Structure 1
Amino acid sequence: MNFLIVVFGLFFTIIHGIDVDEVRDAYRYANSSKEKTEQFYQLTQKTNHTKDNVMAAYYGCALTLKASISSKMGDKISYFKKGKKIIETAVQADPDNIEIRMIRLSVQMNAPRITGYRDDIEEDKNFMLKNINEVSSSKLKEFIKGFMSHSKIFSEKR
């Protein structure tokens, strides 16, 4: 019986997919608690992250957050490295995508210094400032502007 429930759940997810707005909403709160991080991770696993660069970047972000809540050092390192690699692959595949750049920026701003994953902060910040007005989707533009208004890096004096 449990098997049928799992199969039906997978079938339903495949048919309906996960909406990017649902992922964006979960992303907003993913770092607020272990439960929200786990929910974000579970949600991004159900996305088409192997074929969609934006979803891949969110999945990579979820992995880096999962690293932060893992109790075993080996798991922390593994999740973080895998997440970083997925994010960088998404950026390389679609370097002009402002949403992917925002995701990488948010991860790098919050990554522990020991990871060394902080090299693109200024580049991504400048890319976002330069390109925010070019975003055609009003939902995406509002989402990114919300991120920018809550990020210290955008309020710092140059």
Structure 2
Amino acid sequence: MNMMIYYGLSLLFATSISLQSNVDQLRKNYLAASQDESICKQEIERIKDSSGESPIEMAYHGAYHMLWAQYLNAPLSKLNSFKKGKKLMDSALQKRYGDPEIHFLRLTIQQHAPGILKYNTNIQEDVDQITKHWESLPSAPVKKQVKDFLTSNQLLHDTQLKKLQI
């Protein structure tokens, strides 16, 4: 019986490490994917082969698909890629509303999506959720990335900016 518990715990731990390394890789390449088609494609391919998606993986998967739309030529292909990403992002938010990293991902897309898509109605909501749940962001590098984005896009007022300590 003890051997079975040990096996179960080690399997759970290995799965957790695999999931975390996958998410770390998605985080690491996200900014570069917005400017490099090959990185974006590589991450979409890698995540679609993932065995199961956590809400955070689902959000990154969606964000990468929405980024991918910019690299496509045919208008219908662009729209379909964006819609697929939006659906994944919406599902991630339904599963884990309030997660500041998921709100950050949606915010980055909303901030730069073409106006014709009308995907910019939740900008203030996302900023509010990010600042409200700031302390639950997973690491200092993620916090820095989020803070840099928020400040460079002038999305914070003074009281919000003071709250964002790294």
**Coarse TM-score class (shorter-chain normalised):** 0.7 to 0.9
- Quick one: distance in 1 between partners of 2:137 and 2:83? 33
Number of residue-to-residue matches in the alignment: 140
Query: For 2:53, what is the secondary structure of its paired residue?
Result: coil
Question: 5+ residue gaps in structure 2?
Answer: 1-17, 159-166
Give the percent of matched residue pairs that are identical in Structure 1 and Structure 2.
25
The aligned amino acid for 2:38 is: E
2:57 corresponds to which residue?
55
Maintained 8 Å contact 1:102/1:144: no
- Greater C-alpha radius of gyration: 2
Distance 1:126 1:156, change over 3 A: closer
Question: Which of 37, 49, 59 lines up with 2:40 in the alignment?
Answer: 37
Question: 5+ residue gaps in structure 1?
Answer: 1-15
Q: CA offsets, 1:91-136, max 9 Å, x none? A: 111102111111111111111111000011111012112221x226
Q: Does 2:131 align with 1:122?
A: no
Give, in angstroms, the shift of residue 155 of structure 1: 5.6
Which 4+ stretches in 1 moved above 4 angstroms? 154-158
2:145 corresponds to which residue?
146
Distance 1:136 1:40, change over 3 A: closer
1:69-148 matches, cutoff 5 A: 69-132=71-134, 134-135=135-136, 137=138, 139=139, 141-148=140-147
The two structures have a TM-score, normalised by structure 2, of: 0.74
Give, in angstroms, the shift of residue 47 of structure 1: 2.9
Give, in angstroms, the shift of residue 145 of structure 1: 2.8
Query: For 1:19, what is the secondary structure of its paired residue?
Result: helix
Maintained 8 Å contact 2:43/2:64: yes
- Quick one: distance in 2 between partners of 1:136 and 1:150? 14
Query: What RMSD over aligned residues (CA atoms) do the two structures have, in Å?
Result: 2.3
